[in-house]
Amino acid sequence: MTTERIKRILINRVISPVYTSFRIAKYWILSSCSNVTGTPIRICPVLLNGVGTVIFKKSVTIGVVASPYFYNTYCYIEARNSLSVVSFGDNVFINNNACFISEGEGIYIGADVLIGPSVTIFDSDFHAIDPLKRKLEKKTARVQIEDNVFIGANVTILKGVTIGKNSVIASNSLVSKSIPANVIAGGNPCKIIKEISV
């Protein structure tokens, strides 16, 4: 066996799992949200913050080893206010470096949804456009991702958006308006590109 092969085996079977386990434990300890239902499969670190509720239904997986940002980022989930909810349905798969923040009516993700790396979902503007009200007012609205949606890498989804069942959102899209079921959509702003035949 070559020295290079021994090194690879050592990294893959010993060093990487120990390092990753330490990071996962660290972020779990640093999490402040106590209203958590269910337990996700944590492949990468997850930080859960806020006084609201985070719900993980069956077989929610967070993180991918063979994907960007695995060793240097974490997934951030915040239910900021007492009535805020971030809910993940059965068999949801979330890639590395995702961010979900609910400050209002909540973020609800259906079953069998695939979420790419560096996806961001907000149910709030966080600050008003009017400079005089910027620190005082914010608009919020529920975000709903229906079953079997595929969200590509680096997508941002804003407040009030519903993405219909089976739809695909192309990488690097900014989704500011709802997208119907069974379509491929993309761009900034995100628009329907074509229908998916089912």
Q: Within 10 A of 54 (CB to CB), how many other CB atoms are there?
A: 27
Catalytic site residue from 127, 139, 142, 165: 127
Report the alpha-carbon distance of residue 135 to residue 121 in Å, rounded.
21
Active site residue 121: no
Taking each continuous run of H as one helix and of E as one strand, the counts in the chain are 2, 20
Report the alpha-carbon distance of residue 106 to residue 15 in Å, rounded.
38
- Is residue 154 within 8 A of residue 116, CB to CB? The reply is yes
Which 3 state secondary structure label does DSSP give 17? helix
- Is residue 36 within 8 A of residue 51, CB to CB? The reply is no
Q: What's the token pair of residue 130? A: 């009017």
Residues involved in catalysis: 127
